């Protein structure tokens, strides 16, 4: 085992209250979906067809900063994780987002463009140039702060806590499916191939969710730790909510009000 002073450990304080059962703990985690950014006015505007092309471009350009942060965050988790079994599963996330290219002995190449490239294609489909996406010129300072907080958390927290912070993904398949169901009708000017990122995530995200959820349910054992897991999930929900607040303030929401408030 890697020396404890090299890696932060999950603290094991226990105040004697009974732990939630696995089922109850999962229910408590899922309960927090009511604070997911799917309910944010900016997202409601986007997914109900009330956004202008300018607002869609703003969202895609800003969200790009989140997309490029995800594999950096996942590499930080792996760097802090001494559990080989977990790393064997987790590495798939980096390949999903960064893509890969392997040269085979016969000169052929095995390659996958990956999620970041798919996001750039989404950007091009909504009318942005590759350069203006990748040079981050449209990324708002508050979006940067929020995303950087996620990376910093993953770098510094015990790896189990960093895994737990990915659990907003529990709620992501619904938001991706919502986009696939509503964008083609509301925004017919966006070429369907531009939505490939969302299609890919509807199969990738459920697999990530099972893994992240199992690690969390396995490692957060006593009640103090389980409540800490809920706080971490809320912290991450706040990051996503704050990104939307910043974009709403800058690009406007065309009068759309929140369906539900963040808890």
179 within 8 A of 47, measured Cβ to Cβ? yes
Query: 26 exposed, middle or buried (CB, 10 Å; 0-12, 13-18, 19+)?
Result: middle
Cα angle for residues 54, 44, 130 (degrees, 5° grid): 35
Q: Which residues pair with 103 in a beta bridge?
A: 109
CB of residue 187 vs ligand PQQ: minimum separation in angstroms?
16
* The 3-state secondary structure of 1-26, one letter per residue: CCCHHHCCCCCCCCCCCCCCCHHHHH
229 sits near ligand PQQ (criterion: CB under 6 A): no
Residues 187-226, mask of contacts with ligand PQQ (x by CB under 6 A)? --------------x-------------------------
44 sits near ligand PQQ (criterion: CB under 6 A): no
229 within 8 A of 164, measured Cβ to Cβ? yes
Judged by CB, which is closer to ligand PQQ: 177, or 223?
A: 177
CB of residue 176 vs ligand PQQ: minimum separation in angstroms?
6
Residues 57 to 76 in contact with ligand PQQ, rule: CB under 6 A: 70
37 within 8 A of 260, measured Cβ to Cβ? no
Stretch near ligand PQQ under the rule CB under 6 A, chosen from 9-17, 161-169, 183-191, 215-223: 161-169
Residue nearest to ligand PQQ (CB): 168
CB of residue 172 vs ligand PQQ: minimum separation in angstroms?
4
Report the sign of the C-alpha dihedral through residues 218, 224, 226, 231, in that order.
negative
Residues at the interface with ligand PQQ (CB under 6 A): 70, 166, 168-169, 172, 175, 201, 240
């Amino acid at each position: 085992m890697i020396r404890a002073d090299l890696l932060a450990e999950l603290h094991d304080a226990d105040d004697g209250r009974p732990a939630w059962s696995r089922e109850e703990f999962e229910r408590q985690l899922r309960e927090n979906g009511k604070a997911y950014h799917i309910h944010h006015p900016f997202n409601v505007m986007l997914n109900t067809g009330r956004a202008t092309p300018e607002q869609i471009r703003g969202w895609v350009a800003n969200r790009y900063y989140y997309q490029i942060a995800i594999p950096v965050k996942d590499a930080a988790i792996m760097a802090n994780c001494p559990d080989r079994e977990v790393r064997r599963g987790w590495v798939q996330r980096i390949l999903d987002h960064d893509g890969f290219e392997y040269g085979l002995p016969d000169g052929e190449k095995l390659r996958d463009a990956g999620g970041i490239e798919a996001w750039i294609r989404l950007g091009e489909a909504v009318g942005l140039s590759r350069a203006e996406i990748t040079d981050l010129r449209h990324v708002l300072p508050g979006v940067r702060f929020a995303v950087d907080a996620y990376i910093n958390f993953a770098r510094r927290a015990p790896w189990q806590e960093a895994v737990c912070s990915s659990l907003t993904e529990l709620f992501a398949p619904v938001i991706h499916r919502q986009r696939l169901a509503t964008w083609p009708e509301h925004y017919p000017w966006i070429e369907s191939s531009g939505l490939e990122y969302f299609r890919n995530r509807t199969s990738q995200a459920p697999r990530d969710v099972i893994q992240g959820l199992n690690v969390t349910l396995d490692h957060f054992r006593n009640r103090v730790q389980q409540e800490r897991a809920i706080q971490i999930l809320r912290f991450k929900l706040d990051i996503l909510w704050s990104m939307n607040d910043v974009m709403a303030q800058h690009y406007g929401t065309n009068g759309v009000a929140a369906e539900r408030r963040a808890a």
